[in-house]
Amino acid sequence: MCFYRVLDIQPGVTTVIGSGGKSLLLSTLGRELPGTVILCTTTRIYPIGRTLCTPGAEEVRQALKRWGTVCIGTELPNGKIGPPRQSIPLLMEIADYVIVEGDGAAGLPLKAHAPHEPVIPAQSGQIIQVVGFSGMGQTIREAAHRPERYAQLAGAELEDAVTPRMAAAVINQEGLCGRVLINQVDEPSQQAEEMASLLQVPAALGSLRKGWTSCLF
């Protein structure tokens, strides 16, 4: 089953937050969605696929006619791109779907959000949180971006091993999303199903790398 169907991605703006596969989810949605797609960020990301730096609105329109999906943003000195110069309402007029990455996780599978995170456009109709299942069994210090905050939310110590119950508790306490994708589940897993069952919002299991996903819990 396609990720966009399992996650119920609708036309308009969807913001992707969390850790353990956000950019890969953007790339996957860019390939799957049945319409024109703009990929961008409210913070900073590495370019995803065909990317235009600081394009004009007409250039974006032409790129969408040619390719169907385009990543846009403002060029940054470290090889990443920042938010596009166009407003989100304008991007909504240009493309059927606008998929926004709303925070960073330093490449780690788990994350706790600082007070200024995530950066979610007001027009966002849905917020998807990605969590990396590969973080299970690792210590909070090893696996989590902002580990001190993660430990505080989990009621745990930095050297404690992360469990599905702990990971679900952090997501529930933050309460930032409408759906969760538990990514990096490379094979059927009772632990992953346990995590999904403990979440307060619908969740899906899957592996973006291997290209499979389950139905919502």
Residue-range domain boundaries for the chain: 10-213
Residues in Cβ contact with 116 at an 8 Å cutoff, skipping those fewer than 6 apart: none
Q: Which two tokens stand for residue 144?
A: 């989590």
Q: Which two tokens stand for residue 37?
A: 């797609």
pLDDT for the residue numbered 214: 83
- Fold for domain 10-213? Rossmann fold (3.40.50)
pLDDT tens digit sequence for 22-47: 999 999 999 999 999 999 999 999 99
d(CA 213, CA 183): 9
> Looking at the predicted structure, is the pLDDT value of residue 188 above 90?
no
pLDDT for the residue numbered 99: 98
Q: Which two tokens stand for residue 149?
A: 């905050």
Q: Return the SS3 of 144.
A: strand
Torsion sign (Cα): 4, 5, 7, 8: positive
Cα–Cα separations (whole angstroms), residue 21 to 74, 102, 161: 22, 13, 21
> Looking at the predicted structure, is the pLDDT value of residue 52 above 90?
yes
pTM reported for the whole predicted model: 0.96
The mean pLDDT value of the chain amounts to: 96
pLDDT tens digit sequence for 143-178: 999 999 999 999 999 999 999 999 999 999 999 999
Q: Which two tokens stand for residue 199?
A: 């979440």
How sure is the predictor about 77, in pLDDT bands with cuts at 50, 70 and 90? confident
86 phi, psi to nearest 5 deg: -75, 150
Nearest by Cα to 110 from 40, 47, 39, 161: 161
Q: Return the SS3 of 52.
A: strand
